Amino acid sequence: MATVTRTGTAQRNAPRPRADAVRNRERIVAAAREMFVEFGPEVPLDEIARRAGVGNATLYRHFPDRDELIRHVVVSVMSRTTDRADAATAEEADPFDALRRFVHAAADERIGALCPMLADGFDKEHPELLAERARLEHAVDGLMERARQAGRLRDDVAVGDLMVALSQLTRPLPGSACVNFDQFVHRHLQLFLDGLEAPARSVLPGSPATLEDLRRES
């Protein structure tokens, strides 16, 4: 039955979610992202629930199993990373500076936390994921293309090369073994970016990779 909300929008079968439920959901996702980064994707869900300040069953109500939760975190991180790419594109005059800014920003968004989530049973074909990945790929591709057009980015690299190296270099160590690890990470990223700059200083083996190439059957 259609109802009319205060804003005048007609809705079907989607009653406004309760405020506390929305708050819980957000708290769970936030806690999950933090703990995936800190302890890896095997972290006990009960601990995530505890950090989120909810009962374990509440977590399961929102995310029926671990994969569901992981997927939501992945998509959320991807989305925020894409936003950073767009911001860098919009706000930086120099195209290679834009790329640099994006790379460091992605590290701050904990994009490295995505790596362990690409594991085994994870459904890489989920529509929601595919959509978000396309959006991310498009944004980063734009950044790279502009830098390439300006003659600042070497020709033999593609978006997959950047994103995978970026994820790996920022990937968290299990148990946050090293306190000031973040400091190092930004050094590594800077070095990698220097390697990306044109003119190329060496010949790369293999061929440029898109995100598509990262699927198992590639």
For binding to DNA (CB under 7 A), which residues are involved? 15, 17-18, 20-21, 24, 42-46, 54-58, 60-62, 64-66
Out of 42, 46, 128, 212, name the contact with its own copies by CB under 8 A: 42
Report how far residue 175's alpha carbon sits from residue 201's, in angstroms, rounded to the nearest whole number: 37
Q: Which of 2, 21, 166 is nearest to 81 (CA)?
A: 166
Nearest distance, CB of residue 42 and DNA, angstroms: 6
The 10 Å CB-count burial string (b at 16+, else e) for 71-109 is: bbbbbbbbebbbebbbebbeebeebbebbbbbbbbbbeb
Out of 21, 130, 134, 204, name the contact with its own copies by CB under 8 A: 204
Stretch of 14-22, 68-76, 126-134, 167-175 contacting its own copies, by CB under 8 A: 167-175
* 3-class SS of residue 11: strand
Using rule CB under 8 A, residue 184 touches its own copies = yes
Please, is 208 exposed, middle or buried when counting C-beta atoms within 10 Å of its C-beta (0-12, 13-18, 19+)?
Answer: middle
Using rule CB under 8 A, residue 30 touches its own copies = no
Stretch of 22-30, 55-63, 67-75, 202-210 contacting its own copies, by CB under 8 A: 202-210
Strand partners, 11: 3
Stretch of 5-13, 65-73, 86-94, 114-122 contacting its own copies, by CB under 8 A: 114-122
Q: Which of 19, 17, 25, 18 is nearest to 53 (CA)?
A: 25
* Those residues with Cβ within 8 angstroms of residue 180's Cβ, 6 or more apart along the chain or in another chain: none
Out of 47, 51, 58, 192, name the contact with its own copies by CB under 8 A: 192
List of residues contacting its own copies (CB under 8 A): 41-42, 115-116, 118-122, 157, 160-161, 164-165, 168-169, 171, 173-175, 177-180, 183-184, 186-188, 190-197, 200-202, 204-206, 209, 214-218
